[in-house]
Amino acid sequence: MKNFSATLMTIYFGMLCGGVVASANPTKHSYTGRANQAIVVKVVTAKALREELRALRGHVVLINFWATWCGPCVAEFPELVTLAKKYAPYGLRFITVSVDVPTEKRQVVTFLKKHDAPMPAYITSTNDALQFLKPYDPKMDGAIPRTYVFDKNGKLRARIVGQIDPDKLDSEIRDLLGVRSRQSKK
């Protein structure tokens, strides 16, 4: 357990500090839980993404790293969209980051439109997903999807490698938001 806690602290510290040098600024997004009329996928650097996460302190944040070519990523995405829509009114902030190469941005937009995705969407600024993800998870082995949940203080509360368990993730989010079970039913 101590080793796990140390790993989580390392991940969080890595998200707040070091990483890839970038020039992009964090952007303002709508987290209403309603699908965007025009899905916009922005190219993001690791540094800009860390700034975005810092700006979201005070909110429960879910961040998902995925790709259009990843079977488990594609399979879990509808569940993530459901959770994003369900908990946005309670303050959940959900960010999706595609690790597809930047030249495949159009495919990412098409995928997000197909799934009526209501969250801010990014695509990594590099062709090397492992390089991009290392600052977020020092033990990164290249496996995706990867989902992280942060509490309102910015503390990492859950790290999911591989496909999510929707019920378990729903419970984690509900607990962090302080939403009673009967209020959160689908």
pLDDT greater than 80 at residue 42:
yes
Model confidence, pTM: 0.77
Residue scoring higher pLDDT (180 or 77): 77
What are φ and ψ of residue 49, in 5° steps? Answer: -65, -40
pLDDT greater than 50 at residue 178:
yes
Predicted local confidence at residue 182, as pLDDT: 58
Ordered structural domains, the chain, with CATH = 43-177 (3.40.30.10)
Length of the chain counted residue by residue: 186
Question: What b/e sequence results for 102-130 when a residue is b if at least 16 CB atoms lie within 10 Å of its CB, and e otherwise?
Answer: eebbebbbebbeebebbbbbbbbbbeebe
